């Protein structure tokens, strides 16, 4: 019996630091938004400003900033659900995928978003995790990942429409490049056995 559950236990153990990090980062998003609501100044100005050298720092900061609590609430559940599923490949792989998703999404926004805008929010990372989880099933050819990918498509497949221009004030560029970043991460990290020892 222990031999049957050995690989599953190892997988959960390998994912645990990544899941804890994800939950801590999600809590930090709420702390930052609360601070933004009560402190003078506008945190959101530190988001991505397209084609402006100073706006490049926003690539790192934008996922931690949100327009308001409603914006943050809309991102929180899919961020946690898809992030936990992405972490199942192991913490080191999850961290690398997250950094790549942030970079591709942020740089894509910086290059293509309309001038005189500031983009904030974790939705690029959400779309990145969506792309990563689904593409990982294709590139790794793993039955567990395939089952997860099918469930994700059934639950979150409608998000894909968010990569098309639509509602004013919504960064479809962040969504599109986040999705591309997730697929790219799955391809670059395919078959990787990146693990963290705890």
Would you say residue 135 lies in a domain? yes
**Distance of alpha carbon 129 from alpha carbon 88, whole angstroms:** 12
Would you say residue 194 lies in a domain? no
Q: Domain containing 118: what range?
A: 2-188
Would you say residue 75 lies in a domain? yes
Contact (Cβ atoms closer than 8 angstroms) between residue 188 and residue 100: yes
Would you say residue 84 lies in a domain? yes
pLDDT band at 144 (very low <50, low <70, confident <90, very high): confident
Q: Does the pLDDT of residue 33 top 90, yes or no?
A: yes
Task: Give one word for 125, left, alpha or beta, with left for phi > 0 and alpha for psi -120 to 50.
Answer: alpha
Measure Cα distances from 13 to 25, 87, 147, 192 in Å.
Answer: 19, 11, 20, 17
Would you say residue 195 lies in a domain? no
**Distance of alpha carbon 55 from alpha carbon 58, whole angstroms:** 5
What does the CA dihedral 11, 153, 101, 76 come to, rounded to 10 degrees?
A: -90
Measure Cα distances from 71 to 122, 169, 178 in Å.
Answer: 9, 11, 17
Contact (Cβ atoms closer than 8 angstroms) between residue 78 and residue 159: yes
CATH number at residue 132: 1.20.1540.10
Q: Give 113 or 192, the one with higher predicted confidence.
A: 113
**Distance of alpha carbon 110 from alpha carbon 96, whole angstroms:** 21
pLDDT digits (tens, 9 = 90+) for 71-106: 999 999 999 999 999 999 899 999 999 999 999 999
Would you mind telling me the total number of residues written for the chain in this entry? 198
Would you say residue 167 lies in a domain? yes
Contact (Cβ atoms closer than 8 angstroms) between residue 65 and residue 32: yes
**DSSP code at position 53:** G
Would you say residue 21 lies in a domain? yes
* 178's tokens: 């986040």
Would you say residue 193 lies in a domain? no
Tally of domains within the chain: 1
The pLDDT assigned to 192 comes to 62
Q: Does the pLDDT of residue 1 top 50, yes or no?
A: no
Measure Cα distances from 73 to 23, 66, 129, 181, 195 in Å.
Answer: 14, 10, 17, 23, 31
pLDDT digits (tens, 9 = 90+) for 169-186: 788 999 999 999 999 999
At residue 141, φ and ψ (nearest 5 deg) are 50, 55
pLDDT digits (tens, 9 = 90+) for 35-68: 999 997 789 999 999 999 988 999 999 999 999 9
- pTM passes above 0.85: yes
């Amino acid at each position: 019996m222990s031999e049957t559950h050995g690989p599953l236990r190892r997988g959960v153990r390998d994912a645990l630091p990544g899941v804890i990090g994800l939950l801590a980062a999600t809590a930090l998003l709420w702390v930052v938004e609360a601070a933004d609501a009560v402190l003078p100044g506008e945190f959101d100005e530190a988001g991505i400003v397209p084609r402006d050298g100073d706006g490049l720092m926003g690539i790192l900061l934008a996922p931690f900033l949100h327009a308001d609590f409603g914006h943050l609430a809309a991102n929180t559940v899919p961020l946690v659900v898809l992030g936990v599923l992405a972490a199942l490949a192991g913490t080191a792989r999850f961290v690398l995928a997250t950094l790549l998703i942030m970079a591709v999404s942020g740089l894509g926004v910086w290059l293509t978003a309309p001038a005189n805008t500031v983009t904030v929010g974790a939705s690029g990372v959400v779309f990145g995790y969506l792309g990563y989880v689904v593409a990982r099933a294709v590139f790794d050819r793993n039955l567990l990942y395939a089952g997860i990918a099918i469930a994700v498509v059934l639950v979150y497949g409608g998000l894909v429409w968010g990569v098309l221009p639509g509602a004013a004030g919504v960064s479809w560029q962040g969504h599109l490049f986040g999705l591309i970043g997730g697929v790219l991460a799955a391809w670059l990290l395919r078959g990787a056995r990146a693990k963290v020892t705890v």
